[in-house]
């Protein structure tokens, strides 16, 4: 049996955003968060750089995954292996950095759709690189956006990135000189990297998405605002030690729990990147690539 190898470009090519959004929403609503546990998570620094290994299964998916991630001076490197649930055969090996970025954007869009105010049309994107552009592009699938303010820590890239995004998305995107300027008129704030809100206060009624929240050792916003916010998460509550209770996003999507109660509520969604969501995304990509004759396929047992 052949094993398929998918590069970053292959993963992007075989991910159908609208279909995956529907599949993730259905997965969230079908299974309470308390039933979705990771079978294995192993962190080590024995090889010199921080490394992580995660295993996941999910009800109804005829495969399981093992993902490895290593932090290096040139940035993170990650690979996901997809195995047949019955035989254990390796179905596919794929780049997991881009896959996780796209998955985080999808889940963030689902969260914003049910937690942000219905009239939320102004967005602040804090962060850089593909995570920022992916989060914005995916949000457009669920919400109508009128204005965007983009802020990234490197001033030299800020204006140019805003210009390119505005051209590619055909929408108004402004380069903000500071976090405060970016969020001043925002209804939805997307934190996509290591940029925090610092001491900046948010307007009443704002929704905040913290993508890759497990990368923050401490909350990326003022303690008082976090304590007053209605907070939600896509994985086990214990995965974040921010000192506040989190409700499960899955319960809100399924109607088992309420989300926003008032127009002035500050709502916050923190993505803890549970491994089962990457499994669901990887299976989606694998299914889409089954008949792609351009992919490299190798019989590892030959």
Same domain, 120 and 188: yes
Same structural domain for residues 136 and 261?
A: yes
Position 193 scores a pLDDT of 78
Is 43 a residue whose pLDDT tops 70? no
CATH number at residue 291: 3.30.1780.10
Same domain, 225 and 159: yes
State whether 159 and 79 are in the same domain.
no
Q: Look at residues 217, 198, 201, 197 and name the one whose alpha carbon lies nearest to residue 209.
A: 197
Asked whether residue 21 falls in the same domain as residue 84, the answer is yes
Domain that holds residue 242: 106-270
Is it the case that residue 237 has pLDDT exceeding 80? no
Indicate if 52 and 162 belong to the same structural domain: no
Which among 45, 192, 204 is positioned nearest to 120, based on CA atoms?
A: 204
Model's pTM, two decimal places? Answer: 0.91
Do the beta carbons of residue 240 and residue 300 sit within 8 Å? no
Q: Are residues 82 and 169 both part of a single domain?
A: no
Tell me which of 5-9, 127-131, 137-141, 202-206 is least confident.
127-131
- Asked if 191 and 232 sit in the same domain, the reply is yes
Question: Exposed, middle or buried, 5 (CB in 10 Å: 0-12/13-18/19+)?
Answer: middle
Tens digit of each residue's pLDDT (9 = 90 or more) over 259-300: 999 999 999 999 988 899 999 999 999 999 999 999 999 999
Mean pLDDT of 102-127: 96
Closest CA to 288 of 102, 88, 68, 76: 102
Q: 92 with 122, same domain?
A: no
Percent with pLDDT over 90 in the chain: 65
Q: DSSP secondary-structure letter at 173?
A: E
Residue pair 73/64 in contact (Cβ under 8 Å)? The answer is: no
Q: What is the CATH number of the domain that holds 150?
A: 3.40.50.720
Total domains in the chain come to 2
Q: Are residues 261 and 135 in the same domain?
A: yes
Both tokens of 86, joined, read 């019955």
Measured CA to CA, the distance from residue 30 to residue 23 in angstroms comes to 10
Q: Are residue 112 and residue 36 in the same domain, yes or no?
A: no
What is residue 163's three-state secondary structure? helix
- For the stretch 158-196, pLDDT in tens is 888 899 889 988 888 999 999 999 999 999 999 987 789
**DSSP line for 286-299:** HHHHTT-TTSEEE-
265 plus 154 within the same structural domain = yes
């Amino acid at each position: 049996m052949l094993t398929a190898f998918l590069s970053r470009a292959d993963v992007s090519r075989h991910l159908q955003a609208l279909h995956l959004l529907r599949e993730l929403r259905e997965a969230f609503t079908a299974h309470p968060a308390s039933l979705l546990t990771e079978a294995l998570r192993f962190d080590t620094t024995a090889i010199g750089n921080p490394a992580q290994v995660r295993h996941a299964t999910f009800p109804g998916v005829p495969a399981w995954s093992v993902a490895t991630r290593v932090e290096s001076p040139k940035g993170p490197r990650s690979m996901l292996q997809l195995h047949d649930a019955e035989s254990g055969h390796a179905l596919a090996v794929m780049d997991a950095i881009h896959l996780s970025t796209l998955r985080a954007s999808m889940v963030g869009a689902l969260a914003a759709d049910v937690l942000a105010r219905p009239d939320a049309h102004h967005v602040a994107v804090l962060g850089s690189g593909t995570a920022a552009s992916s989060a914005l592009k995916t949000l457009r699938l669920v919400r109508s956006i009128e204005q965007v303010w983009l802020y990234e820590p490197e001033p030299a890239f800020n204006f140019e990135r805003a210009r390119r995004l505005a051209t590619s998305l055909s929408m108004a995107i402004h380069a903000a000189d500071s976090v405060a300027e970016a969020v001043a008129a925002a209804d939805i704030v997307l934190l996509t990297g290591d940029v925090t809100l610092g001491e900046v206060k948010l307007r009443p009624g704002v929704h905040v998405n913290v993508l890759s929240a497990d990368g923050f050792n401490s909350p990326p916003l003022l303690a008082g605002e976090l304590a007053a916010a209605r907070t939600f998460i896509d994985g086990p509550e214990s995965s974040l030690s921010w000192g506040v209770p989190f409700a499960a996003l899955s319960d809100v999507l399924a109607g088992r729990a309420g989300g926003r109660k008032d127009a002035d509520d500050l709502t916050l969604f923190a993505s803890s990147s549970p491994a089962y969501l990457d499994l669901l995304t990887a299976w989606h990509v694998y299914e889409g690539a089954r008949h792609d004759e351009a992919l490299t396929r190798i019989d590892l047992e030959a």
